[in-house]
Each structure stands twice: as C-alpha cells, then as structure tokens.
Amino acid sequence: MVEDTIFSPSFGNRPSYLVGREAILRSFDQNLQTRPGSRERSTVLLGQRGSGKTVLLWELADRARKCGYVVANPTVTSEGMLDRIVEKIQKDGERYVKENHKRLAGGSVGALGFSVGLQFTKDVQETKSAEYKLTQLAERLTAEGHGILILVDELQANSADVRKLVIAYQEIVGEGLDIAMVLAGLPAAVSATLNDRVLTFLNRSNKVVLPSLALGDIDAFYSRAFASIGLKVNDVLRRKAVEATAGSPYMLQLVGHYMAVYAQDDGTAEEQQVDQAILAARHDFQTDVCETTLAALSDKDAEFLIAMSQDASESRISEVAERMSVSVDYAQKYRRRLIDAGVIRASGRGRVSFAVPYLADYLRKEESV
Ligand SMILES: Nc1ncnc2c1ncn2[C@@H]1O[C@H](COP(=O)(O)OP(=O)(O)OP(=O)(O)O)[C@@H](O)[C@H]1O
Ligand SMILES: [Mg+2]
C-alpha cells in the first residue's frame, strides 16, 4: 500500500486535477463573455452518473468568480430552491456592495428594496416572492457591473421549482440584465416526453454532453500521479489500468485509488496487484453506477438491456426484439427511450451498444445468479 494523496473516488468530491475538460472550460469562459441575453448564456450539461457534472459545476463557479461574476453555488433541484439561490447570491455578492453601500444608498438602491448591502428590507423579505428578489438582485448587481451565474445540479426538468426558475430567468434576460445559468443533470432529465416551457428553454440552450475522457489524457495523468505518490508500475500495466477506466472519470478515481491500496509496501504494483485494483474498482463502479442506473429504469427497459447483454459488443434490434418476444416496432420504443436516457447508443443501422461501461457485464452476472 502507498499513501494516496491524489485520488478521490467519491461523488461530488473535487479531484486534485481535472482531467480532459479544457475544451469545455474554454468555451464556457467564452460564453460568459457574450452579451447578456445571448443563447450561450444558458447551458445544459448532461452526463451519466460519475461523468463529472458536479465537479465541473464547482469548477465553473470558481472560474466565473474570477471574471467578476456573483455565483450561486450548485443548488440541487428541490422544493424551495429559488429561495436558496437568492440567499447564495446575496452571500456571494456581498463583497461587491458592502463597502460602497453608503455611496449607492440613495434613492435607486432603496427603491429596489435593499436595506444593508444585498439584504432586503423587512417588508420585501417577508412579503415578496423569490422570483421578485432574484430580479431585484440582478438589477442591483448589473448596476454595479457584475453578472450573476446560477448553477443547478441534478436537474429534473419536470420539477415545479425548475419551471419557476426558468420563467424568472427568462424575465430577467428580457429586462436586459446580466445573468447566466448552467443546469446539470442525467441525460434522462431532458427526455423528449416532456412537453413544457422548461423543455423548450432547455432545447434552446447551449447543450453540452460530457464525453468520456480520452485514454491518452488519463494515461498522462496516471503517469504523473503515480510518480508523485511513489507508485511504481511499468508502462504495460499502467496502460492496462488506463483501459480499465473506459474513459469514465469516476472509474479513473477508483482504479487509481485501488492501485495505491493494493501496491506492495515498496510502492511497486505488479500484474497481480493491478488486476486486484481493477477488480475492486469495477465492483464499486457496478454498485454505484450500474446498479443505480438500472434502478431508475422500468422493468421493460431492463428487459431490453438484458436481451442486449447476450451479445458480445453490438446488438441488432431485430434480435433483441426476438429475445424479448415482442415486435420490432415495440422494441424500437424502448430503444429510443434508452438512447434518450444515455444508457445505450445507436451504432450503425439497426444496431445498438451499451453507453455505460461495465453495464453489460453487470447484467450478465446478475442474470446468472
Ligand atoms: N475531469 C475529471 N478528472 C478527474 N476526476 C474527475 C473528473 N470529473 C469527475 N471526476 C471524479 O469522478 C467522480 C464523480 O464525479 P461527480 O460526482 O462530479 O460525477 P456526477 O456526474 O456529478 O455524478 P452523479 O450523476 O452521480 O451526481 C468524483 O470522484 C470526481 O472527483
Ligand atoms: Mg453529481
């Protein structure tokens, strides 16, 4: 075992180094530079479990703050989320308004309903809606020369609170105020079956589907990370570990962590230890990602996936339908739903393959017990 000061295989835990997200971060920085109201100001970030949505939101928060934005740190979709967003903006924006409060505390600020800094007067605080407060904050901060960035995690497009937020956001944009928003969630959160104002908004937003990490980037990171914690592993075995991550950020953390755990006391990891590490990582990944992904699906969706898991890599829809004893048309319905949910992907005419690593293997194991 070597001491692991690098890997953090835990949801929402910010990694010591964010691998392979430079292009996304760069375009996000550019989007923040666009004028208020442009389409690029609202982004929907979609990705499977463990693809790094939450940690990317925190990274975006840091970057936006450096550009002078007032940021509402990631708020999980929930009842009353608008109130929490208002509080977060007040807290983060305080630093920009406190010192010059006196100068601005004339008519216009009072008219917006503020008492001290970004605190509302008692009357506003107690009688006005969160939507109203959000608009007043946007007006005040825009006047101070600062934009607002709202970050939402675990997006549920059919939530009443998200609907309220989207409507408030659109109204604030309509008033020409400086605001931006990033909403992150599972691909299924934005399913085509929703037909609502939220869906229209999401469809018009800038959409980013988090891709798998490039194996080359993971390899370069492992090289550096292993050296820094004194883990000695040869190139062939390191590449084997890289392959085992299948480009998943969560798997990257798990494999790295277990490599450190299983390494010999002198820091060397031989084939046996690397295999043990991969096995342990796969086990955790299957419990945390595959199992929870399946739990969110219907029985029929699961049946479709089980039928697919009989094939080594790709499956033909016609064969999947036959195994399920249903018509091809009927199977198509499930194919569409599972593609929307990001669990499978189309791979050539009439074929599909798994989009979640190790899911096929998990299903085969489950079926054999
Ligand atoms: N780009 C990255 N480089 C290195 N590690 C990463 C990266 N992105 C995420 N991770 C790591 O992967 C794990 C999962 O990340 P995170 O919790 O952000 O995923 P998520 O997409 O929010 O998952 P969920 O849908 O379950 O909420 C964490 O351990 C995190 O540190
Ligand atoms: Mg998350």
Contact 223, 193 (CB under 8 A): no
Distance CA 249, CA 218 (A): 9
For residue 158, what is the domain's CATH number? 3.40.50.300
Share of residues in the chain with pLDDT > 90 (%)? 74
Task: Report the nearest atom of ligand 1 relative to the CA of 250.
Answer: 12
In a domain, 169, yes or no: yes
| pTM for this prediction | 0.91
**96 and 126 housed in the same domain:** yes
> Structurally, how many domains does the chain consist of?
3
Query: What's the gap in Å between 251 CA and the centre of ligand 2?
Result: 14
Which contacts of 331-340 are long-range, i.e. CB under 8 A and separated by 24 or more positions?
331/304, 334/300, 334/301, 334/304, 335/304, 336/192, 337/191, 337/301, 338/297, 338/301, 338/304, 338/305, 340/187, 340/188, 340/191, 340/192
Instruction: Note whether residue 92 is domain-resident.
Output: yes
Which atom number of ligand 1 is nearest to the Cα of residue 10? 29
Same domain assignment for residues 191 and 256: no
CB 158 within 8 A of CB 62: no
Q: Are residues 323 and 278 in the same domain?
A: no
* pLDDT tens for each residue of 227-285: 999 999 999 999 999 999 999 999 999 999 999 999 999 999 999 999 999 999 999 99
Domain that holds residue 233: 215-293
SS3 42: strand
321/221 same-domain check: no
One domain for residues 285 and 309: no
227 plus 321 within the same structural domain: no
d(CA 254, ligand 1 centre) in Å: 11
Token representation of residue 320: 């999947």
Ligand nearest 222 Cα, by number?
A: 1
Are residues 98 and 238 both part of a single domain?
A: no
Please, which residues have CB within 8 angstroms of residue 110's CB and are 6 or more apart in sequence? none
Q: Which tens digit of pLDDT belongs to each residue from 188-238?
A: 887 766 668 888 888 889 999 999 999 999 999 999 999 999 999 999 999
Residue whose Cα lies nearest atom 26 of ligand 1: it is 49
Q: Where is the domain boundary, 209, 243, 258? A: 209
Question: Residue 298 contacts by C-beta under 8 Å, 6 or more apart in sequence?
Answer: none
In a domain, residue 8? The reply is: no
Domain end call among 209, 230, 250: 209
187 and 244 both lie in a single domain: no
Residues 51 and 189 in one domain: yes
Best of 55, 57, 293 for a ligand 1 pocket test (most atoms within 8 Å of beta carbon) = 55
Output the CA 12–ligand 2 centroid distance in Å.
6
When pLDDT is averaged across residues 335-354 and rounded to a whole number, the result is 90
Q: What's the CATH number where 242 sits? A: 1.10.8
Q: Is residue 308 part of a domain?
A: yes
Ligand 1 proximal residues by C-beta, below 6 Å: 8-13, 15, 18-21, 47, 49-55, 186, 249-250, 252-253
CATH classification of the domain holding 339: 1.10.10.10
Average pLDDT value for the chain = 91
Token duo for residue 38? 């442009």
List the residue whose alpha carbon is closest to atom 15 of ligand 1: 52
The predicted model gives 81-85 an average pLDDT of 96
The CA 153 to ligand 1 mean position distance, Å, reads 13
CA gyration radius, the chain: 24
Non-local CB neighbours of 115 within 8 Å, separated by 6+ positions: 121, 122
